[in-house]
Amino acid sequence: MKALMEVKNLKKHFPVKSGFSKKAMVKAVDGLEFTVYEGETLSIVGESGCGKSTMGRCLLRLIEPTEGQILFEGQDLMQLSPEEMRLRRRDMQLVFQDPFSSLNPRKTIRQILMEPLIVHNIGNTAEKKAKVEWIIEKVGLSPDYLNRYPHEFSGGQRQRVGIARALILQPKLIVADEPVSALDVSIQAQILNLMHDLQKEFKLTYIFISHDLSVVKHISDRVAVMYLGKIVEIAHKSKLYQSPQHPYTKALLSSVPLPNPDVKKERILLEGDLPSPSNPPTGCSFHPRCQNAVEACKNRAPILEEKADHHLVSCHLIEKR
């Protein structure tokens, strides 16, 4: 498997005012390490506020990371000038959560889909027009819709337009930030199936961001679980769902409904809220909510390491096998 993107020690810390104008730092992303392989779907899952959307934008340098390396096809994106980065972004596109607010209401679908071609100077007018008609059909909409405005469409149709806008440049990587969370459950499956078909057809690599382990179950090849700006577990989908190791992953999975309602499973309730990323707990940042925590967990932060074949976990109590 060939690496498409390698992320090393990626951090995004924001200064925020707290109390009497004392400066605090929000560690939204705090030392992420992972690799995305060509053609796979890597899902990144965690509660809202864990830093996953910030991470998605950092990967494309839509917001500037504080430090770290982002190697894309071996090239460190952090070393590129803003203009070089703008051009490089042709190969990596973002699909947003809310297809309504991400589409300009004053523009027709044709204008919205034309825009990336104009920005990246692709083709003459006739070629641009043909490309727009080609891509709208690829996402399952009729070219007759091209002169309409976003408000004339349903949520699912708007997300199809959002996907078409990301795809029209024929990128290698798509970062999809909760692409189905704003949609009705019945529509979610249609959009996930569409994304799956497009991945095969265009040989796309996906980073799929979600707060919901049940949503990413079918589309993922591997799943990373994120907690307070860090990855706490990453494994192939079958390993992660069948034998989760990290106590946080276990708790998240215990709330995912089982396909067979006769099989009972114990629900692990997480105590307390997600702590503030401006004041993360000492040691293992999960320790205040962890049922297994021991004294050492308060003082020493575990590192994400391979505990079994391609199964990485960040927890003191998990032995290497």
Residues that bind ligand SF4 in the complex, under the rule CB under 6 A:
246-247, 284, 286-287, 290, 292-293, 297, 302, 315-317
Indicate the angle between helix axes 125-138 and 155-167, nearest 10 degrees.
130
Q: Which is nearer to ligand SF4, 147 or 243 (CB)?
A: 243
Q: Which is nearer to ligand SF4, 97 or 249 (CB)?
A: 249
| Residues shown for the chain | 321
State the binding partner of 317 from Mg ion, ligand SF4, none, CB within 5 to 8 A by kind.
ligand SF4
CB of 313 to ligand SF4, least distance (A): 9
Q: Which is nearer to ligand SF4, 143 or 275 (CB)?
A: 275
Stretch that binds Mg ion, among 53-61, 72-80, 82-90, 126-134 (CB under 5 A): 53-61
Please report, as residue ranges, which positions from 235 to 274 form the binding site for Mg ion (by CB under 5 A): none
State the binding partner of 286 from ligand SF4, Mg ion, none, CB within 5 to 8 A by kind.
ligand SF4
Structure tokens at 109: 């679908």
- List the one residue from 41, 43, 53, 102 that touches Mg ion (CB under 5 A): 53
State the binding partner of 72 from ligand SF4, Mg ion, none, CB within 5 to 8 A by kind.
none
State the binding partner of 53 from ligand SF4, Mg ion, none, CB within 5 to 8 A by kind.
Mg ion
Q: Which helix (H) or strand (E) holds 292?
A: none
Q: Give all strands of the β-sheet with 173-177 in edge-to-edge order.
A: 92-95, 173-177, 205-210, 41-45, 222-227, 230-236, 311-313, 305-308
Alpha carbons within 13 angstroms on the beta-carbon side of residue 161 total 33
Q: Which is nearer to ligand SF4, 208 or 286 (CB)?
A: 286
State the DSSP code for 82: H
Long-range contacts formed by 287-290: CB under 8 A, 24+ apart: 289/248, 290/247, 290/248
CB atoms within 10 A of CB 287: 22
The type of residue at 29 is V
